[in-house]
Amino acid sequence: MKKLYIILALLTLSVTALAQSGRSLYNKYSDLPGMEAVYISPAMFRMMGKIPDVEFQDGNVNFSPIIKSMSGFYLLNATDPKVGAELYAEVKKFIDKGQYELLMEAKDNGEVARIYSMGDEKTVSSLVMLAQEGNETAFISIDGQMDREELENILAQAAAE
Amino acid sequence: MKTLDEIARLTAEDLERIGSDENIPVPEDLKVSLPKRNPEHAWRIAAAVALLIGIGVSGYLGYREPKDTFDDPYLAYAAVEKAMNKMAGTVQYGAAKVSETELALEKINYWK
């Protein structure tokens, strides 16, 4: 009987750990008032993959190859400071529990933006950005099989624009 | 008194008829006691049920597929591109801070 309890406890723990994902956070916060939310499904990414190489917006950086290796996109932008603080704390908890590493951090006058990645040396399977600017809190989570070198080059290229 | 073989051969109807026959006396020394329920077992069962419900609900709430924000892949593409540019902005800010620091260090080294 004790074994059963242990199994159930482990099952609960694993489900709780799994539940801490971009999707669970999106499901929890996306319908709240004052929340801007964008979700792009794997099916939509497959459709985007069929778009012929397009004329690029916002400068000359071609995001197309990296976008085509993505499979899920979640964006939450909270304008309510209370909801934003709650979202920030929950994302931080999710980041700290996961196998994310800090890729970039920028702080200025109390504003902070951090980019985290998860994966191995060659591939990024999850990219997360968490930013707090004034009363706004933004959370972006991107899933996929992105080539790490290509992703870093594209971001550096875009940053140089 | 019936033998065990005779009792085994009785049908359900026979048993029902015998049971409802009030002429058959109940032995005075007959004691029937149902096993007592262990309250601890009830709690364990309740806890297991609650856990299973919790797992089911959290699983459903956490993993239900959200609705796509865009129907048009071009709009979806533009949204992702905008997000990537926002990330690039953070990288740019970080790089600018590194350059500023490097410049400051160069100045310090110059005056040494």
Mutate to test the interface with A, among B71, B84, B97 (most CBs of A within 10 A): B84
Mean pLDDT check: name the lowest of A116-120, B28-32, B102-106.
B102-106
The pTM is what?
Answer: 0.69
Domain boundaries, chain A: 21-160
Which residues does chain A have within 8 Å of residue B58's beta carbon, measured at their own beta carbons? 15-16, 19
Question: Whole-angstrom Cα distance, residue B2 to residue B6?
Answer: 6
Tell me the per-residue pLDDT of A19-63, one tens digit each, with 9 for 90 and over. Answer: 468 888 999 999 999 899 999 999 999 998 887 765 555 556 788
Residue of B nearest to A9 (CA): B51
pLDDT > 70? residue A18: no
Per-residue pLDDT tens over the stretch A118-146 = 999 999 999 999 999 888 999 999 999 99
Place of tokens 């932008």: A77
pLDDT at A123: 95
Residue B68, C-beta contacts closer than 8 angstroms, at least 6 positions apart: A39, A40, A41, A43, A44, B76
Helix axes B39-63, A2-19, angle to 10 degrees: 20
State whether A40 and B70 contact (CB < 8 Å): yes
Q: Tell me if B94 and A138 make a contact (CB, 8 A cut-off).
A: no
Contact A58 B66 (CB under 8 A): no
Q: What is the ipTM of this complex?
A: 0.80
Report residue B11 CA to chain centroid gap.
46
Whether A74 and A39 have beta carbons less than 8 Å apart is answered as yes
